[in-house]
């Protein structure tokens, strides 16, 4: 499932994750689903976290290469109890965690005058608080496996735009958090970050289905296309693999060059 110019496949062998156990939060839909499928295809045993997408999670589990070895866990990561529940269930599955992909997140895009307390708290709790506390609660498991963390940020975490301030704040904080955690958890655990650009997912279907907006995105992206979820999944797979064993504290922009031109 390696890509050739983001379109077809090549004969290159992707890094193997055989025998490794990886937790993917928000792993049933969108980017998370593609990450789950990619890691499973590379041989990993995946713990698929979901909040509301039960049907999608169960279908995904049954479709994976080694379905019997994968797990599905439900938890609301905007709540303290949900974070604790997920960490406890993961610890019950394994005491040695090879990978944690902090992908779960929500988006809200109001202008400043429409920003509300509850919405702000929900976005920050899901997109930022859950990440740091999951890493804290699973740190011993990750250290035992000499594991790796991949945080999913966004191009909006490195390039400012009007509106969506809670989302921008959470994603930019995640970039900085990655650097600090990489220092604290070294040398046993690597921590990196992936910042997607404009990716075609269900959550932003209105954007890429809008002909005018879609054309604007394409024309302002040097590689002249929207990203696909597999573009992100391939980068995550690389960062979790031994091929990235000397990489930590980095944020990789997977945006087709969009951040280069604003």
**Residue positions annotated with a catalytic role:** 167
Count Cα neighbours of 214 within 13 Å in the Cβ-side half-sphere.
14
Distance CA 235, CA 31 (A): 11
Pair 83, 134: CB distance under 8 Å: yes
Cβ neighbours of residue 172 closer than 8 Å, sequence gap 6 or more: 153, 156, 157, 158
212, containing H or E segment: helix 211-219
Distance CA 76, CA 101 (A): 16
Distance CA 262, CA 259 (A): 5
Indicate the angle between helix axes 80-93 and 130-145, nearest 10 degrees: 20
Say how many C-beta atoms besides its own lie within 10 A of residue 193's C-beta: 27
Pair 260, 197: CB distance under 8 Å: no
Beta bridge partners of 195: 253
DSSP H helices, 42-186, are 54-63, 80-93, 117-124, 130-145, 165-185
DSSP 8-state secondary structure symbol assigned to residue 203: G
Distance CA 103, CA 79 (A): 16
């Amino acid at each position: 499932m390696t890509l050739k110019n983001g379109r077809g496949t090549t004969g290159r062998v992707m890094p193997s994750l055989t025998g490794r156990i990886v937790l993917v939060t928000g792993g049933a839909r969108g980017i998370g689903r593609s990450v789950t499928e990619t890691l499973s295809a590379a041989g990993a045993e995946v713990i698929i976290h979901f909040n509301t997408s039960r049907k999608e999670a169960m279908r995904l589990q049954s479709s994976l290469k080694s379905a019997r070895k994968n797990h599905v866990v439900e938890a609301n990561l905007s709540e303290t109890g949900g974070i604790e529940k997920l960490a406890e269930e993961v610890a019950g599955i394994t005491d040695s965690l090879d990978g944690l992909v902090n992908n779960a997140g929500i988006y809200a895009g109001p202008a400043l005058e429409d920003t509300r307390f509850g919405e702000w708290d929900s976005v920050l709790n899901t997109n930022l608080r859950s990440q740091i506390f999951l890493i804290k609660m699973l740190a011993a498991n990750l250290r035992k496996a000499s594991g790796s963390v991949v945080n999913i940020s966004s191009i909006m975490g490195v390039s400012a735009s009007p509106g969506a301030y809670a989302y921008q704040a959470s994603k930019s904080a995640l970039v900085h958090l990655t650097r600090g955690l990489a220092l604290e958890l070294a040398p046993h655990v690597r921590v990196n970050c992936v910042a997607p650009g404009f990716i075609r997912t269900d959550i932003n279907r209105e954007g890429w289905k809008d002909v005018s907006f879609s054309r604007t995105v394409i024309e302002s992206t040097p590689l002249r296309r929207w990203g696909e979820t597999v573009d992100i999944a391939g980068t995550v797979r690389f960062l979790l693999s031994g091929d990235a064993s000397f990489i930590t504290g980095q944020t990789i922009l997977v945006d087709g060059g969009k951040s280069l031109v604003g």
